[in-house]
Structure 1
């Protein structure tokens, strides 16, 4: 199941899964404290920070494959 796409806003990512913050931080993204999170898409955030958007999406969407409680 894929929940996020390139156009998903970072604020929606943070609300979309309880472990999303951990994934974003593992990529060096501090979206939970950034005022731009409401307006910045995953693609724009990745591009602005020199990250591969597809790799970031893979890790974020993998959260939905984890069994609950993990």
Structure 2
């Protein structure tokens, strides 16, 4: 399965797994339905919201890892 990194677009993250929207929302990132999600990278979103991008990457990839097992 694809891995998420700093340059992954928000729309691509949302398309990877149904739980991604809830994880992003728990960080205050309400990307589902946002037109900017197609163009904004995870790094841009995290930076714009004052979030630790590495923590966010770890949490999102943990969802993917759990779905693989």
Structure 1 length-normalised TM: 0.88
Q: Once the 2 structures are TM-superposed, how far is the Cα of residue 33 of structure 1 from its aligned partner?
A: 2.3
Q: 1:7 to 1:67 in 2, by over 3 A?
A: closer
Q: CA deviation at 1:67?
A: 4.5
CA RMSD of aligned residues (A): 1.6
Which 4+ stretches in 1 moved above 2 angstroms? none
Cα displacement (A) at 1:18: 1.3
Aligned residues: 68
CA distance in 2 between counterparts of 1:10 and 1:67 reads 19
Mapped partners of 1:57, 1:2: distance in 2 = 13
Q: Deviations over 1:14-34 (max 9, x none)?
A: 001111001000101100021
